[in-house]
Structure 1
């Protein structure tokens, strides 16, 4: 599956603020940057920084400065200040509200073996977002059905269709007795809004969190038994959503774009045989702080399951290994599965991976 990368890297310039470098949407993570050597002849205590290009009231800092050390070096607190200004950061996402809305039925679809299928809509940022909802047949348990917020990977928005692709994946959870909701992120299918990508812009993540909030309003859903399934870009969206919403109790991530941002910036295959960029320490510190991986300890023991094939040509298998190392360092619960020779969609082990994912949710929701 092709991926859409629209990733902005802030490049700090000691003593001179920072530089915005925007990645073209059709390129993998690649970081052209400029740096300047700080002058030690005039020690500084503050560095003036331009405001965020898209500030919001929740994210705008009280003053436009960051603290530096005696020789102008950027402190950890200063980096956190810059990170908090980015709408995609965990801090900024946590500052927003996710009211969701009632799930309104748009049309009924052919039912599955033991569940109904409907196209529904909900509200996200004032936009009408469409989604595919499945609900088990029969009387719900006393506290409602367990639920999976289902997050698809990158599909060109103009080619995306609500009822195409991921049918077998969603069906596996629906047949196992889970409510599932697969959102058509903004700009996809009939959903309103602009498709701006899942890495640099917060929109898709906001849609996922409002999908979860909308499910919580449904009396058929047990809001204490909610999980996430995400593939590729959907893995990144699921990780962010889990770090924002503590009600999301577990996540199964397939071939997820879940390595830390500094790894994504340097190790996502450069196009045309170009050399991989090398980050200086300052840029690496900034990208690590911006990454969701910097907050993994705040999962507070909520488990994650990982699946990836070693022959994945879209997302390097090393991303799963890097993410597993981050989870280990954060002392979080996870299980990682490796599928030798399999591709981005786990085509050769689809049944096995789905059974493992279903069992994971049975054990953890």
Structure 2
């Protein structure tokens, strides 16, 4: 352990920050409370938020299931009380097994009489994994391994519950649960050449899904992706630890390079016939989503050009493979695709589609030919997520930013038209919704900045509270025992009149007559937000606590969402198109200039830090705005967009062949000579996302420019830089760097 780190932790734990040289003195009242420590935040469960574990709505909407100490238990929705034990932990034991399975997850078949349990799950990349799957029959109480051929990925019941499909070794398989006979749907999959039924690396990361096969509603067909990645260049990372490090090679298309050639097929279960769908003559394109419609044998395929400024919805007959374009959505910058953009209504006559064509993300009703029937939502605000469509009652439930860009609340709109109606009590904060299949009830995960979430069950018709399932009273009490500063939202205008939003954490013993150093936290990527009125989850909440620890040590911490960030309409978000880094860096500089005007800010002691895109922003701030920032920390930064992947980078910058200036004009590597302040660079050598190559190129430029810097690398750690005590170690080093240099 670093000597200064050890002393810092010991003094903080024993006496609070007042005894540390160079830190602001702590008021007497604050000493009566506990001081935050890095161990509290990253090594202990001190601030672990409670939730409703393993929650899964059951089909009738009156009950939900959850895993309770290894057993699968049915709970009554309105009371949360256990109504029945569906599968006991002791039943999840194979013959001759010494103990029950250590269950990672589960899913029901259609009649909820069979359950797929997963165990020994092994992550691959951000969303992909493989595991051992077991089928439990509730009527016979028999537990059976799904396959003896090795671990499987994405095992999924057919809608009629009679079969399970899964992926193994780049091929799709099918198991008949009546006979447990296994059938290979595809046989030609080969690693780093051809993938069936699961995504290649770039689709998984940037189109945000990993399972790439889909049962038809009538269980007769399985539609699946195939990725021919044979022409995609390989990236190799060294895996350290053995006498001779080993290479890990995988297909990663960097900006401007070749992508996988993607095809879509449908497999007929009865005839075992596979039909390839017509996705057009252009191979260099994207198929970001495939969805079954409510019409038998009709598949919906979304097709995008490589620049991602044109989206087409294709409707295809899986018996012939023929397709036709039903709807086209275009944008002068780019079109984004998410899981809740498209919903086909029962009856096969209409669908709901989300578009930014009026300047904000809103919902539109179309007939099956693509003709717009009506706009369902409208206004200078955005639909954030579609929670569910209640076709029976003609309603669509969604969360939106109607109250403020920093907030999210639940609304519903009639498919027949009219104004949207808010559900639940008026108030601030953020609501994350889990709506029951019949929309009778919903789970509401409500939180506000700096306050743990409250999980409540609510009436789907009125939004009224039925029961609070988890209020995190224990965590609230724990937080009340610590010295925490105020968290407030700020807003200011830049020199060109742009209104920007931010938040500020001040020390608990804040004195407006003193001068404080400021650390700015930035992400800043397209469509992102750090300025939200919610508690955040995982790293977001622990970062909040770390910022509080810095405030406890006499720092003000601030975050500003500049141009390019989300929830304020397409024009604000897409203003950075084709020139990533330029306006974003200007706005972080404007934030520093605004802070410098505040009477309690020491303008000579403003620092900045960020991770990933935020690490990139920090590197630019420390060079292009070198006179404004005394210190910076970049974690896992992109330093040259030519090193990043095709889908993300070209969406916002076009290809490097078409827009070389957009890649080079705001690469930190080009501005190494302008670095002035103290700078720390952190990266994991096993980062499959933002390659360690970025930091190598950046360091090489700094050396050539004869600039001083510090580096911290983590062997074999990926983009998240975690595992064991890694996070504790990382944040200890970052804390020391702030204390010593700001």
TM-score relative to the length of structure 1: 0.60
The CA deviation at 1:358 is 1.4
CA RMSD, 1 decimal: 3.8
What secondary structure is seen at the aligned counterpart in 1 of 2:630? strand
> 1:38-117 alignment to 2 at 5 Å?
109-110=449-450, 113-117=483-487
Which protein is bigger by CA-based radius of gyration?
A: 2
What secondary structure is seen at the aligned counterpart in 2 of 1:120? strand
C-alpha separation between the residues in 2 aligned to 1:151 and 1:341? 25
Gaps of 5+ in 2: 1-125, 127-204, 208-252, 259-427, 430-447, 452-478, 648-655
Gaps of 5+ in 1: 5-26, 33-105, 272-278
Q: Specify the alignment match of 1:248 in structure 2.
A: 629
The CA deviation at 1:320 is 1.2
C-alpha separation between the residues in 2 aligned to 1:331 and 1:257? 21
The CA deviation at 1:311 is 2.4
The CA deviation at 1:198 is 8.0
> 1:191-230 alignment to 2 at 5 Å?
191=568, 194-196=572-574, 197=576, 200-201=579-580, 202-230=582-610
The CA deviation at 1:344 is 1.5
C-alpha separation between the residues in 2 aligned to 1:162 and 1:139? 22
C-alpha separation between the residues in 2 aligned to 1:200 and 1:285? 8
Say which structure is richer in strand.
2
> 1:1-365 alignment to 2 at 5 Å?
29-30=255-256, 109-110=449-450, 113-124=483-494, 125-140=496-511, 144-152=515-523, 154=525, 156-157=527-528, 161-163=532-534, 164=536, 166-176=540-550, 177=553, 178-186=555-563, 188-191=565-568, 194-196=572-574, 197=576, 200-201=579-580, 202-245=582-625, 246-258=627-639, 261=640, 264-265=641-642, 267-270=643-646, 291-300=667-676, 302-348=677-723, 349-365=726-742
Judging changes above 3 Å, is the alpha-carbon distance between structure 1 residues 238 and 159 closer, same or farther for their aligned structure 2 residues?
closer
C-alpha separation between the residues in 1 aligned to 2:637 and 2:607? 16
* Total equivalences in the alignment: 257
Spell out, residue by residue over 1:121-178, the C-alpha distance to the aligned partner (whole angstroms, 9 max, x if none).
1223423222221111114497512111111264744898453363322431331232
Judging changes above 3 Å, is the alpha-carbon distance between structure 1 residues 223 and 170 closer, same or farther for their aligned structure 2 residues?
farther
CA contact (8 A) 2:668 2:698 kept: no
C-alpha separation between the residues in 1 aligned to 2:612 and 2:737? 19
C-alpha separation between the residues in 2 aligned to 1:142 and 1:355? 30
CA contact (8 A) 1:187 1:195 kept: yes
Bigger RCO (CA 8 Å, 6+ sep): 1
Q: Specify the alignment match of 1:8 in structure 2.
A: none
C-alpha separation between the residues in 1 aligned to 2:661 and 2:565? 34
C-alpha separation between the residues in 2 aligned to 1:362 and 1:346? 22
C-alpha separation between the residues in 1 aligned to 2:618 and 2:529? 23
Spell out, residue by residue over 1:85-104, the C-alpha distance to the aligned partner (whole angstroms, 9 max, x if none).
xxxxxxxxxxxxxxxxxxxx
The CA deviation at 1:209 is 1.3
Judging changes above 3 Å, is the alpha-carbon distance between structure 1 residues 3 and 323 closer, same or farther for their aligned structure 2 residues?
farther
C-alpha separation between the residues in 2 aligned to 1:198 and 1:182? 22
C-alpha separation between the residues in 1 aligned to 2:586 and 2:533? 19
My pick for the range that moved more, 196-205 or 120-129, is 196-205
Say which structure is richer in helix.
1
